[in-house]
Structure 1
Amino acid sequence: MGKTLFIAEKPSVAMEFVKLLNVKGKRNNGYIEGEKSIFTWCVGHMVTMSYPEVYDEKLKFWNLRDLPFLPNEYKYEVIPSASGQFNIVSSLMNRDDVDTIYVCTDSGREGEYIYRLVDDMAGNPNKIKKRVWIDSQTEEEIKRGIKEARPLEEYDSLAHSAYLRAKEDYIFGINFSRLLTLLYGKTLANALKKDKNVVVAVGRVMTCVLGMVVEREREIREFKKKSFYKIIGNFSKENDKAEIMADWKAIDGSEYFESPKLYNEVGFNKKDDAEALITKLRDIGSGTIKEVKKTKEKKNPPLLYNLAELQNECTKRFKISPDETLKIVQNLYEKKMVTYPRTDARVLSTAVAKGVNGNLIKLRNMPIGEDLANITNEIIEKDYSKGILKSKYVDDSKITDHYAIIPTGEGKDTLLKLPSLDKQVYFVILRRFLSIFYPPAQYSKMTITILIGKENFIINKKICIDKGYLIVLGNDKEESEDSFPDSLRKGTKVTINELEIKEGETSPPKRYTTGSMIIAMENAGKLIEDEELREHIKGAGIGTSATRAEILKKLINIEYMQANKKTQIITPTNLGEMIYEAINVSIPSLLNPALTASWEKGLKLVNDKEIKPEEFMTKLEAYTKKNTFRVLKTSNIGLLNTKLLKIKNQE
């Protein structure tokens, strides 16, 4: 019987496999060899797509007549800096005494791509190949992954989607960057007063994100503030000096219901109209309580974190970039403290939920502080986890590759040694996890309506009567402690003490932060503030959980946009706005989030075996040809110059 070769994505992971499997092996250059097994590693990507000049030397020089460039067969090459390790891995894969290969690269599209490229370049050796798919780096999960490893060919559709994603980025980048640079590079250089032509960098996702940032900035720039006028009433019961504050609202029955004079139902466009109403109401002088409505409301804990939600949360809390959050949570994953971070799911699988009590028992022994230790003990002792299987936090249909990010309960000694920020991110994940086992927060709501003539003044009160899961999240202090005006009853007469006008102003849209942009990308260009609504409408996003942070980082590095280090607020640079215009006058569809999301959805359809790779490729090439030929036929330099002049005048 031959030897088994394990191939990890990086050295640290390979070492973890050696340690956990208790292999007594000899350390060699680039691998560790035991009696029955060999462990080696990639160093991230070791193989890449070849540049056009590898196909034909003349393509090293950019020329419009060579576009579009669409190879019949794509060429790949070993990255020079990784050639030493690649040769080691390739030779091990082709050794006669190796009969089985376990693929242990990261369990996702990118990890699959890293291995498949190596396999192809190594000559696709004729061995038994099995895929290890794990959700954490814990000992039991690694052992389970090896025991339950599936034949590699079962992941062929994932590999197809990975190759297509790379080809799509390559085709867009090579063709559209060259096309727009050759046509508009000099025009942009003149506008920016540069000696050399400006390179227009185009990317399938990157360009779309740039468009979102520029368009939001222009909405803010062009926003015109508008004043509106609300009426606030100060009332009291007869023979009672206690003040009752209420807001006027033009609901059904009001003289102003759906009137064009309103900004919305709580204010007027003109101050004169508000003053006229106040005069009428003062003449009436008193009113009655028309309705007292009491209701109870429950609020369940939020869903667990996926990578996008965690990145957004960390940008809000700690003002760090999504890239930094990903590095931290990846580090926590490699230290076995949390599950796989590059996930889109916010729920657990049924299988994981059945064993979740094991995580809780381990957490009880972690140095997590007295309050969280008590909470963990309460969850275990009161058996709060028994109902989790039938809850919204467990849903196999909402999981593709991995379930939500949760703590494993491991890393007792590691936690205390973590850098402060890493520790804070861990506790954010931990608190969200523990919160799902707790009861909902409960609120008592009261709505009181005071009728003066035909006009209604409304009081809305909401108080928390049971904090429930809010105790776990540590934000229970934010909840209102106001009491209700219990003495008010339907039919009670009230006197007007004062009516005053409060001026309000409309607000411009908010700029994106690096975190909110990740959420907008996940939701195909829509920045949806409400967390539950986001989950309901989620479809194909822009980019993937593994790539979004890197795309933002690239846009900042090439100076198309900038992020404030203290606030993480994103704004476009002048260069970014000019690049946007060059794309907008030539291939505007590249700026469309819906189209970009549709390409990502196409890759998912390939992964799900709903369409063949050839069908996706045919559409991709047709789109590239159509837009290249159209741009070559129509020069928009005059229009571009006009738009660039407008940007320069804003400086």
Structure 2
Amino acid sequence: MGKSLFIAEKPSVAAEFAKALKENTKRGDGYLESENAVVTWCVGHLVTMSYPECYDEKLKKWNIQDLPFIPEGEWKYEVIPGVKKQFNIVKGLLNREDVETIYVCTDSGREGEYIYRLVAQEAGVHDKVQKRVWIDSQTEEEILRGIREAKDISEYDNLSDAAYLRAKEDYLMGINFSRLLTLRYGNSIARFLNKKYTVISVGRVMTCVLGMICNREREIRNFVKTPFYRVNGKLQIEDYKVDAEWKAVENTKYFETPFLYKENGFKERKTAEELIEAINVSQPVELMVKSITKKDEKKQPPLLFNLAELQNDCSRLFKINPDETLNVVQELYEKKLVTYPRTDARVLSTAVSKEIYKNINGLRGFTPVKGFAENILKAGSYKGLEKTKYVDDKKITDHYAIIPTGQGLNGLNSLKPVAQKVYVLIVRRFLSIFYPPAIYKKASLIGNVKSVFKDGSETMEQFGSNFKILVQKGYFEIAGVPGEKKSSKDKQENDAENQDGTNDSENQELTLDSKFFELLKNIKKNDKISMVGLDIKEGETKPPKRYNSGSLILAMENAGQLIEDEDLRAQIKGSGIGTSATRAGIITKLQKNEYIKLNSKTQIVTPMQLGEMVYGVVYMSIRSLLNPELTASWELGLTKVAEGEITADEYMKKLDDFIRGRTDNVLRINNANQMVNYYNYVAQFYRRNK
């Protein structure tokens, strides 16, 4: 009987497979072996695509006449020099006569598939049974299940096609467009910056993300502040003084007049002063209640973390960049603490939901949440999870959401503090879904106040208040109440962000209580409430926010849209820019190229001068590379290849046409000298920094 060979992506993962197999293995050079099995590993990529000069020596020198470069016939690949030794070890094991079955245990995703396929291709694997192991965590139970249920590798051929196409696409766009734009515009940029030479680096995803950052910076620069003035009344309801905001409605003095800024403010202070004078609170003034509504509002726990959501929260809470977050959660995965991190899904599968009590039970051993886990198990609130919004097989492609396994807790103490914080974040989000919703009491009061203006006209001006208090914490017991324990700095930032003409009165939840809501029950239509004060709140419109590293990841996930409301994000369907596995790396690459700057303390992202110059070059030559929707459509095409909806040949023809068409367009353009005016425009924003 032949041996089984298990090939993992990393040495640490191979060690977990060897441990799960419970074989008496002995260490060899680059592998572990027992009587029945051999376990080996790659070290990430062992094989890569060959440079153009491997096809033709003359292509080593960049020459515009040689573009576009698109290999005809067989594509060439080569072993990466630094890992040649491990490749030869793996190659030898793959082709050993006593190896009968190969279990492919590289990461369960498109990139993991690509890593193995390249190795098998270059090693010349033939006449072997090859099975794909697909797992969601590195627990012993999950590893053994993956081996037991491993499918023939041919079932993943479409995924392999998509992986090869992704690599070819990045290769062709990167090599052709980087050479093309460098040859056309590199010298003019170098001369302007007093450099010897400048290489313009272009990428399918990277350039699009650069465009998002530069466009946002331009929106901020071009923004013109608009001041506005809101009139705020103070209502006396027994012992409580509450705010009521004026609003222009039909049959009032300023309805649909040019004096208004939106419907609840004025463009000039003097108009607000005229209104205050017309109401005149120096004498008793009463607001007649027009309507009062009261209702309970339930806030359900959010969906579970996918990688993008986790990266966004870690950027906001811990000020770490997406690459750091990915590294941390990868470490948690390898320590068996959480499930597979490179996932776009925010829900669980039906199969997992039926066994979820095991994960919860394991968390009884984690002191910070022990009580919550025990409450959930005692109440049985995990039962019927498969019928909730947190379980949906249709929203899962490769992997379900990131959740704690309930195992590996002994390894927590060896982790850095930030990794422990990230783990707690994942655990609390997970346990939240088994708790009831938070419940708010909300009320809205609208009333009219008599106003007499200098011109003799009389109107009934409308004021309104919104009230809100938390009456049942629900899942906030685990996740924390939003807005609680905010530092004074956070509060100042929050106040500043609210200065956009929105209604402030919901913030009154910070000072109101259940006793006040009892008073509201007694207020009815046509009742009168004393207005004891009026003042003017001055504000100004704010420019768009710069991206931080987390919000940029979310914008990439949603094809260039920064959708901050997470319930709305959950409803958005379609592919984003890049994948959960690559987005953090794109930001890092832009930094290394000195195209963008990422503030390590605030995580705010801004363009650098070179980045803006490259953005302008692309805008004037291959503008479609800056289009998030188009870039997302390429990613969607790869997904369709992986799902068998379109063929690799169809996708490749579209790619071929795109490369040739855009290259021809650039060759016809003659605007290198005109770009100098653009460079001068950009430079003015960076002289002070220099």
Coarse TM-score class (shorter-chain normalised): over 0.9
Q: Is the Cα–Cα contact under 8 Å of residues 191 and 648 in structure 1 kept in the other structure? A: no
| Structure 2 SS opposite 1:291 | strand
| Structure 2 SS opposite 1:378 | helix
Report the RMSD for the aligned CA atoms in angstroms: 1.5
Map 1:567-582 → 2, pairs under 5 A: 567-582=602-617
Structure 1, residues 529-581: CA drift from partner, whole Å, max 9, x if none?
Answer: 10111111132100000000011011111110011110110111111111111
Q: Is the Cα–Cα contact under 8 Å of residues 363 and 376 in structure 1 kept in the other structure? A: yes
Map 1:322-361 → 2, pairs under 5 A: 322-361=322-361
Residue identity in the other structure for 2:425: V
Change (3 A) 1:229 1:134: same
Change (3 A) 1:150 1:190: same
| Percentage of pairs with the same residue | 56
What TM-score, normalized by structure 2, do the two folds share? 0.91
Structure 1, residues 404-455: CA drift from partner, whole Å, max 9, x if none?
Answer: 0000011131122322111110000000000000000001101011211432
**Residue number in structure 1 paired with 2:427:** 430
The Cα of 1:19 is off from its aligned counterpart by 1.1
Structure 1, residues 314-367: CA drift from partner, whole Å, max 9, x if none?
Answer: 010100010001111000000100000000000000000000001111111x23
The Cα of 1:379 is off from its aligned counterpart by 0.2
The Cα of 1:494 is off from its aligned counterpart by 3.1
**Residue number in structure 2 paired with 1:412:** 409
Q: 5+ unaligned residues in a row in structure 1: which ranges? A: none
Map 1:96-175 → 2, pairs under 5 A: 96-175=97-176
Change (3 A) 1:251 1:385: farther
Q: Is the Cα–Cα contact under 8 Å of residues 464 and 481 in structure 1 kept in the other structure? A: no
**Residue number in structure 2 paired with 1:268:** 266
Structure 1, residues 597-645: CA drift from partner, whole Å, max 9, x if none?
Answer: 0100110010111111111111111011111011101112133111111
| Structure 2 SS opposite 1:360 | helix
Change (3 A) 1:235 1:362: closer
Map 1:440-459 → 2, pairs under 5 A: 440-453=437-450, 454-459=460-465
**Residue number in structure 2 paired with 1:277:** 275
Q: Is the Cα–Cα contact under 8 Å of residues 138 and 339 in structure 2 kept in the other structure? A: yes
**Residue number in structure 2 paired with 1:551:** 586
Distance 1:262 1:5 in 2: 74
Residue identity in the other structure for 1:300: Q
**Is 1:368 matched up with 2:367?**
yes
Distance 1:183 1:489 in 2: 74
**Residue number in structure 1 paired with 2:633:** 598
Distance 2:239 2:117 in 1: 79
| Structure 1 SS opposite 2:612 | helix
| Structure 2 SS opposite 1:451 | strand
| Structure 1 SS opposite 2:348 | coil
| Structure 2 SS opposite 1:386 | coil
The Cα of 1:523 is off from its aligned counterpart by 0.4
**Residue number in structure 2 paired with 1:289:** 289
What TM-score, normalized by structure 1, do the two folds share? 0.97
Structure 1, residues 469-501: CA drift from partner, whole Å, max 9, x if none?
Answer: 001113367274622353543222234433222
Q: Which moved more, 1:510-519 or 1:17-26?
A: 17-26
**Is 1:632 matched up with 2:648?**
no
Distance 2:183 2:483 in 1: 59
Map 1:125-274 → 2, pairs under 5 A: 125-194=126-195, 196-236=196-236, 243-274=241-272
Q: Which moved more, 1:471-480 or 1:415-424?
A: 471-480
Change (3 A) 1:480 1:495: closer
**Residue number in structure 2 paired with 1:531:** 566
Distance 2:153 2:472 in 1: 51
Distance 2:371 2:255 in 1: 54
**Residue number in structure 2 paired with 1:607:** 642
Map 1:494-509 → 2, pairs under 5 A: 494-509=529-544
Q: Which of 477, 481, 485 does residue 475 from structure 1 map onto?
A: 481
Q: 5+ unaligned residues in a row in structure 2: which ranges? A: 451-459, 485-508
Q: Is the Cα–Cα contact under 8 Å of residues 514 and 563 in structure 1 kept in the other structure? A: yes
**Is 1:305 matched up with 2:297?**
no
Residue identity in the other structure for 1:643: Y
Structure 1, residues 165-199: CA drift from partner, whole Å, max 9, x if none?
Answer: 000000000000000000001100111111x2210
Q: Is the Cα–Cα contact under 8 Å of residues 360 and 409 in structure 1 kept in the other structure? A: yes
**Residue number in structure 2 paired with 1:43:** 43
Distance 2:250 2:634 in 1: 47
**Is 1:403 matched up with 2:433?**
no
The Cα of 1:24 is off from its aligned counterpart by 0.8
| Structure 2 SS opposite 1:565 | coil
